Amino acid sequence: MLSVTGLDAGLVELGGLLFTDQDLSGGAGRSCATCHKLDGGGEDGKRRAIGIDGEELLFNVPSIFNAAKNYRFNWRGNFTTLEEQNEAILLDPNVMGATWPRILRTLGDNPDYVERFQQVLGERPTRRGVLDALGAFQRSLTTPDSRFDRYLRGDAAAITAEEEQGYVLFKAFGCVSCHQGENIGGNLMQRFPVFSPRFAQERQHESQASRRADLGRYTITERPEDRYLFRVPSLRNVALTAPYFHDGRSASLHDAVDEMAASQLGRRLPRASVDLIVKFLATLSGRTDMGVRPAAQDKRY
């Protein structure tokens, strides 16, 4: 079950303003919320992130909800803290395209921001203050009280019999080996794919950069043992965050479960089993201050 304690309300509020402020992108008309939409699953619903020039980037946008519970950040585990990741995203010319002098000048020229920073942090806008505020806001973005959370607390009626069967299969097929803990994932790196040699063959039409991105953490460390290692994503709210995987290859949860079976188990699951697992995954959607949002229905099943 999720819990958050010790957050300063004023710092969280300030971080929320910064998170949605397009002025931080230096006139590019983008904010953190451009890619991490707070009225859905905390991502953008696209196959891969769209860069500042409108071009598709290399990776699918991870959800911002519960992200603070991950042990590393980004698909390749590039960063160990939210603050480290936030700074990299702010300064990335393909994402936010900002610079610290421009950010601090923009905030310093805004009387409301100057007053808020003084009230909350006792100083004018600074690099550390911006990063602390963004981090505090993101740590507040948890989605507790999913139906599965209530089930684990002893409310047997919180999920249906079919959803419970899906949970049994989720454990029986070994999904829980990687997707476990408070965040139902996000706490280790795993090779992807283990099986499925077609993975490389399917990618021949992609750019060299995209094919290199498939090497995962290796592109950060250059260590042979890190080839194809990716951070295991959290499955909280997974019914709200299509498409799936680091490259957005699967458009639906059914497709994603099929892909995982082929790539990680080397097998094809019966359709009935996939249906039940997908029903279980829908119980992982939690609450925000906007309430629980239903997942989109996959019309093909």
Q: Per residue in 218-277, pLDDT tens? A: 999 999 999 999 999 999 999 999 999 999 999 999 999 999 999 999 999 999 999 999
Do 72 and 119 share a domain, yes or no? yes
Residue 189 annotated as part of some ligand binding site: no
Is there a domain that residue 108 lies in?
A: yes
Do 156 and 260 share a domain, yes or no? yes
Contact 239, 122 (CB under 8 A): no
pTM for the predicted model, two decimal places: 0.91
Do 122 and 233 share a domain, yes or no? no
**pLDDT at residue 101 in the model:** 97
CA angle 215, 216, 217 (to 5 degrees): 120
- Return the CATH number at 86: 1.10.760.10
Question: What is the count of structural domains for the chain?
Answer: 2
Is there a domain that residue 184 lies in?
A: yes
pLDDT, mean over the chain: 91
Distance CA 220, CA 77 (A): 9
Do 160 and 177 share a domain, yes or no? yes
Do 27 and 128 share a domain, yes or no? yes
Do 97 and 117 share a domain, yes or no? yes
Q: pLDDT, tens digit, for every residue of 167-203?
A: 999 999 999 999 999 999 999 999 999 986 555 555 5
Domain limit, last residue, from 76, 107, 139: 139
**pLDDT at residue 301 in the model:** 30
Q: Is 186 helix (H, G, I), strand (E, B) or coil?
A: coil
Residue 290 annotated as part of some ligand binding site: no
Is there a domain that residue 5 lies in?
A: no
CA angle 189, 194, 196 (to 5 degrees): 140
Is there a domain that residue 229 lies in?
A: yes
Do 133 and 170 share a domain, yes or no? no
Residue 178 annotated as part of some ligand binding site: yes
Residue 36 annotated as part of some ligand binding site: yes
Confidence of residue 27 (pLDDT cuts 50, 70, 90): confident
Distance CA 159, CA 283 (A): 7
Is there a domain that residue 294 lies in?
A: no
Tell me how crowded residue 13 is: count the other CB atoms within 10 A of its CB.
15
Instruction: Determine the average pLDDT of the residues in 149-170.
Output: 98
Do 92 and 180 share a domain, yes or no? no
**pLDDT at residue 291 in the model:** 47
Q: What is the domain extent for residue 49?
A: 10-139
Beta bridge partners of 292: none
Is there a domain that residue 54 lies in?
A: yes
Place of tokens 């995954």: 281
Residue 246 annotated as part of some ligand binding site: no
Do 275 and 153 share a domain, yes or no? yes
Peptide bond preceding 193: is omega within 30 degrees of 0, i.e. cis? yes
**pLDDT at residue 100 in the model:** 98
**pLDDT at residue 293 in the model:** 43
Is there a domain that residue 73 lies in?
A: yes
